[in-house]
Structure 1
Amino acid sequence: MPELSLLAAALVGLMGGVHCVGMCGPLVTAFALQRPGKEPRLLLHLSANLGRLVSYTLAGAVAGGLGESSLWLRQLFPVEQLLFGLAQVMLVLLGLYLAGWNRWLLHVERAGSVVWRRLQPLFTRVLPIERPGQAFLAGLLWGWLPCGLVYSVLIAALASGSPTSGALTMLAFGLGTLPNLLAMGWFANRLAAWVRRPVVRRTAGLAVLGLGLVGLARLFF
């Protein structure tokens, strides 16, 4: 059964960075501004992103476990192929959204806001960020921020069919997002202006769109 490779998951995270900077930029900036303590800024950003990666990995393991538990249905329905196809459709929608050609993915993010509304009060209690432990906890909560980019890869984790594969898929994706978000912590204004350029967004969108189309082609050829 075809599945989203770890390299592809990392590339989705990297190319989707234009979305990360726009959506998570305010949170990353908050880590930098809410810093009355003496801890190095880089240590706080690394701690926060470590917490985020832990949440992604946990979510991937749960999704992979759910996918594994549904494998008994494959005698009745092509569950694995359907989940993989859905993951590729999500990547196509993500690519169109990143390129600025379609906004359907926003409806998926709104659905996920139900969970975030319950977690957001906990996030505000962690502020101001003064120590790495606080940053790590904030990162754990940050990992559940509604995000169509995350949901696209989470469906791929569901299609992977095992907790280990699901966890590794989400971990690879999270590692792919690191360069953009760490850079955001240091060059917030310049990076935000750069990713707003149409050519940057369209290039990233086409790259993700291409991954989704290639995945769909693998289902039929």
Structure 2
Amino acid sequence: MEQTYKFYVSGMHCRACVMLIDDRLKEYPGVTSARADLARREIIITGNLIGDQEKVIQDLNLILKSDGYTLSTNKTKKTIVWSEFYYALPMATTLIAVFIWLQKLGLVNLVSGNNVSYSTALVIGLIASVSTCLAIVGGLVLSLSASYAKSGAKARTQIMFHLGRLLTFFVLGGVIGTIGSALHLNWTVNLIISMVVGLVMLVLGFNLLDLTDFTQKFQIVMPKHIAKKVLAPREVFNFFTPFLVGGLTFFMPCGFTQSMQIYALSTGSFFKGALTMLIFVLGTLPMLSLLSFSSFSIISKPWQGIFFKTAGLIVMAMAIFNLLNLLAVAGIINPIFNL
């Protein structure tokens, strides 16, 4: 007889976490459905599970441990580790100061009118690869490694996966840019789109600080039932499956990816849209490659909170710089940063 269990979840940061937890727990024998809720920080599990509730939760936690999630029977009050800001704030301030210095030297261009520069796209990719992107794409990387391990094709699998990501992001980025060109977006529309990108980035950065769950509802996400269909091909074993799965990550519910897709639309150019998405995905490559070919994982490290908060502060600073610069370009305010 099927039973229903309700557990509380700690460690969830975004909608990608919800999908990853659902997917992981459905692999447990006897589980017929798993529905995580980010706002309530809980999950409802239905199935014929062996053992009492204590044994079930121990077994499920073993599955989720490597991803940094923990289930419990008691709801715990959200705790904010303010001490992590003692380290995150000076680290973020230092890196932001370096970005500004490089901008003044003309080596990078993080703030550029109503455009998201290629330098910005690269930095956003780097940050995405250690935050929301790591949660879902990192899970896929590890899952593919485990699936193909018996055949001894781990290296080939990972290479095909990353090639699929690079090629698909380039091609579909160009397609999005071409669509923008067909729509004949004028300067005002481009400015509005750039403002939307800035606001999305601001929300993403704030969510990385993990101060409240309220702003999670403002994050643009793909419907869960569609995203789950994107994950399905990983269970098909053939030479091109890793390539296909890598390409399908273009549609994953990662806010950073979606913000870059919105900007690619505003470029109105196949080449600019393609290059923006390619540079963004190249930014994610170092961390995901490290995860692919080693056992490294930032999620399970004790300093993950400091890392996420540092990344969040940097993303928020970049978003604020760009939003203020956009307002200056529009003539709404006077230039504040002479970058």
Give the TM-score of the pair, scaled to structure 1: 0.84
Does residue 1:21 correspond to 2:128, yes or no? no
SS in 2 for 1:193: coil
Structure 2, unmatched stretches of 5+, are 1-112, 329-339
Does residue 1:44 correspond to 2:177, yes or no? no
Aligned length, in residue pairs: 213
Provide the rounded CA distance (Å) in 2 between the counterparts of 1:144 and 1:215. 25
Match among 80, 93, 111 for residue 190 of structure 2:
80
Match among 197, 200, 224 for residue 113 of structure 1:
224
Provide the rounded CA distance (Å) in 1 between the counterparts of 2:318 and 2:312. 10
Asked if the contact 1:48–1:135 (Cα under 8 Å) also holds between the matched residues in 2, the reply is yes
User: 1 or 2 for the larger relative contact order (CA 8 Å, sep ≥6)?
Assistant: 1
How far apart are 1:109 and its partner, in Å? Answer: 5.1
Within-5 A mapping of 1:1-221: 2-19=114-131, 20-35=133-148, 36-39=150-153, 41-71=154-184, 74=186, 78-101=188-211, 103=213, 104-105=215-216, 108=219, 110-121=221-232, 123-127=233-237, 131=239, 133-188=240-295, 190-194=297-301, 197-221=304-328
Name the one with the larger strand percent.
Answer: 2
The superposition leaves residues 133-156 of structure 1 with CA deviations (integer Å, 9 ceiling, x where unpaired) of 332122122332222121011111
Provide the rounded CA distance (Å) in 2 between the counterparts of 1:197 and 1:33. 24
Structure 1, unmatched stretches of 5+, are none
SS in 2 for 1:34: helix
Distance 1:49 1:195, change over 3 A: farther
Name the one with the larger helix percent.
Answer: 1
The superposition leaves residues 20-59 of structure 1 with CA deviations (integer Å, 9 ceiling, x where unpaired) of 22222221111211122233x3332121011122222233
Match of residue 335 from structure 2: none
Asked if the contact 1:93–1:102 (Cα under 8 Å) also holds between the matched residues in 2, the reply is no
Provide the identity percentage.
26
Give the TM-score of the pair, scaled to structure 2: 0.57
The structure having more radius of gyration, on CA atoms, is 2
Distance 1:126 1:109, change over 3 A: farther
The superposition leaves residues 153-184 of structure 1 with CA deviations (integer Å, 9 ceiling, x where unpaired) of 11111122212111111111000001111111
Report the residue type matching 1:60 in the other structure: G
How far apart are 1:189 and its partner, in Å? Answer: 5.4
Asked if the contact 2:197–2:259 (Cα under 8 Å) also holds between the matched residues in 1, the reply is yes
Provide the rounded CA distance (Å) in 2 between the counterparts of 1:168 and 1:105. 29
Provide the rounded CA distance (Å) in 1 between the counterparts of 2:117 and 2:308. 23
